[in-house]
Structure 1
Amino acid sequence: MEFMDIGEVAEKSGIKPSALRYYEETGLITSVSRHGLRRQFSAEVLLQLKLISIGKLAGFSLQEIAGMFDQNGTPDLPRQLLHQRADEIDRQIHELKALRDTLRHVADCPAPSHMECPTFQRLINVANKRGWKSRSKKRSTKP
């Protein structure tokens, strides 16, 4: 079996070597050997890195993502957790569409003042009741 060094993995995955070292340090990925001082990885690491990237985009923390792999690095995806996250994303999409529509109305409102516009007043009240807050907070500041 032929292995890739950390530079090749970085090039093929688009992930910086520093992030790869961090992922290895935290147990997300595992190098299989070393060639001199350079870490060597099996080809399966590229699939793991794709899943890590998707997990991060979906808003999972690195700790949550780590729990989605078994001891051998094989994906062991928790279907119920994935359904819950998909439902949360659906809610975010709904809220973001409503926010988009509000912004478009405000930008295009023909009223001389937004304070005179009944639609604007209604939208502001709805937004306040929903408590539009950023839900896309990063759960991890690491790579």
Structure 2
Amino acid sequence: MDPNLAEILDYVPLIVSGVVIISLAGILASWNSTRMKIKNGYPLEGMWGQSLKPGMTSEAQQRVTLLTQENAALRAELGSLKDRLANVERIVTDGGFHLTQQIESLRDSAPLAGLSREKVHDREGII
């Protein structure tokens, strides 16, 4: 027998056992994935994406429709909350001192330029 062939034949049991272990690991992973899908209510699919189990019943279809509508409503509400939060952040980060100065400059503007500050406050009902 050729010495090179004898060296190669020494590795054959390792190669075969490696292939068997990798195959079993793949089968176990597929089995676990299918088990988790069934446990959590996800539909099972075949090789080309066709639905296998559980079939889509009218109750399941109604549930999907309701969840889709609820999801759309929650997304709209989230969008409005983001807008409101942006306005609150703008107000909070706006300097209160600058806001006070702007209010005072508006009070001292042209239509009431002839009146003194005390008269303006009396006229507005602020004493």
Common fold: TM-score over 0.5: no
By percentage of residues, which structure has more helix?
A: 2
Larger Rg: 2
TM-score scaled by length of structure 1: 0.32
